[in-house]
């Protein structure tokens, strides 16, 4: 269990996160949704432990920024792409924490080969990461996170640059992590996809948590409408799956 209590983050005078209290369950997929500027990415960085904050975030009882033994994978929305680095080198970086920097084991090389196959990148290991398409790069990021064998994975908009087919492929890959006992926290603009994959949704607006709960409960709640200023419509398909779309008329 990751327990977030009275979490606040300031950048100078500006308060980015305000008194957040949330519990994130182990081995579940929690999705942060909300409009741009709601503080979702900053929340992910605080969960990683790299962002200074006031309040408390404890993972299995230990304060996150103090616990350097945690193995947390981070998949950014805008990765820094190293010029001249091959796909296999890039994915191998994920083993650095397990093997020690620069000491990749034979087991790690085998794991990287398997993971490249699993994410459909095998055969491209020679290519530069800078030459990958958006979808391939996203899969390389997921592959690196998979070989890291983390206990928690944080993903910032993992599907933002992908077409529909690749969105599902990447999300299916992430879902595999749950079977390995990994806790998943992601931000996602597409609430329909969030409802499809996440067990729990946290709705954020202007640095605050408006509501959190099971996906089904949150999707049909008035707080979700409030977060998006009543500019979304929720439909339910015959299969029972909810679909959330933006309203065309933005004057409402």
Partner 1 sequence: MKKLGSEGAISPIWNWKITAVSFSLLIFVVFLAISFGPVPLEFQKIIRTLFGLPGGLTGQERTLLIDLRLPRALLAAIVGAALATSGAVYQTVFRNPLADPYLLGAAAGAGLGATIAITSAGADLYSLLPIFSFFGAILAVLVSFFISGKFFAEPNSLLLSGIAVGSFATAVQTYLQQRNSSSLRPVYSWILGELTVANWQKVIWSSIYIFIALTILITVSKQLDGLMLTDEESYSLGINPNRLRVIAVIAATLATATAVSASGLIGFVGIVVPHLVRGITHRVTNRGLLTIALVGASFLVLADLGARTLLSPAELPIGVITAFVGAPFFLVVLRKKRLVSQ
**Where on the chain is the footprint of partner 1 (CB under 8 A)?**
45, 48-50, 68, 72-74, 76, 78-80, 82-86, 88-89, 92-94, 96-97, 101-104, 109-110, 112-113, 116, 123, 125-126, 128, 130-131, 148, 150, 154
| CB 235 within 8 Å of CB 242 | yes
Q: Which residue, 52 or 56, has its beta carbon nearer to partner 1?
A: 52
Environment class of 19 (CB within 10 Å of its CB; exposed 0-12, middle 13-18, buried 19+) = middle
Q: Which residue, 113 or 234, has its beta carbon nearer to partner 1?
A: 113
Which residues have a Cβ under 8 Å from the Cβ of 236 and sit 6 or more positions away? 242, 243
* Min CB(124)–partner 1 separation in Å: 9
Give Cα separations from 244 to 38, 51, 108 (angstroms). Answer: 19, 32, 41
* Min CB(245)–partner 1 separation in Å: 31
* Min CB(111)–partner 1 separation in Å: 9
Beta strands 14-24 and 29-33 are unpaired
* Min CB(82)–partner 1 separation in Å: 4
118: part of which helix (H) or strand (E)? helix 106-118
C-alpha to C-alpha distance for 65 and 50, rounded to whole angstroms:
7
* Min CB(2)–partner 1 separation in Å: 15
C-alpha to C-alpha distance for 56 and 151, rounded to whole angstroms:
20
Q: Which residue, 134 or 222, has its beta carbon nearer to partner 1?
A: 134
Q: Which residue, 33 or 87, has its beta carbon nearer to partner 1?
A: 87
Q: Which residue, 88 or 215, has its beta carbon nearer to partner 1?
A: 88
């Amino acid at each position: 269990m990751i327990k977030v209590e009275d979490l606040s983050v300031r950048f100078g005078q500006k308060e980015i996160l305000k008194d957040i209290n949330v519990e994130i369950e182990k081995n579940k997929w929690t999705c942060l949704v909300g409009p741009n500027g709601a503080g979702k990415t900053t929340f992910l960085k605080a969960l990683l432990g790299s962002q200074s904050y006031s309040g408390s975030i404890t993972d299995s009882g230990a304060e996150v920024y103090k616990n350097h033994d945690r193995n947390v994978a981070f998949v950014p929305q805008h990765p820094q792409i190293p010029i001249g680095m091959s796909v296999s080198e890039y994915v191998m970086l994920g083993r650095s924490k397990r093997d020690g920097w620069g000491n990749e084991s034979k087991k790690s090389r085998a794991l990287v080969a398997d993971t490249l196959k699993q994410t459909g990148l095998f055969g491209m290991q020679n290519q530069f990461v800078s030459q990958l398409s958006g979808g391939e790069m996203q899969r390389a990021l997921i592959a690196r996170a998979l070989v890291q064998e983390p206990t928690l994975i944080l993903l910032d908009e993992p599907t933002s640059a992908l077409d529909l087919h690749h969105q599902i492929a990447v999300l299916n890959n992430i879902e595999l992590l749950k079977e390995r006992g990994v806790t998943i926290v992601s931000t996602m603009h597409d609430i329909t996809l969030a409802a499809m994959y996440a067990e729990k949704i946290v709705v954020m607006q202007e640095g605050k948590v408006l509501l959190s709960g099971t996906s089904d409960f949150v999707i049909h709640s008035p707080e979700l409408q409030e977060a998006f200023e009543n500019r979304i419509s929720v439909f339910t398909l015959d299969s029972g799956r909810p679909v959330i779309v933006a309203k065309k008329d933005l004057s409402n």
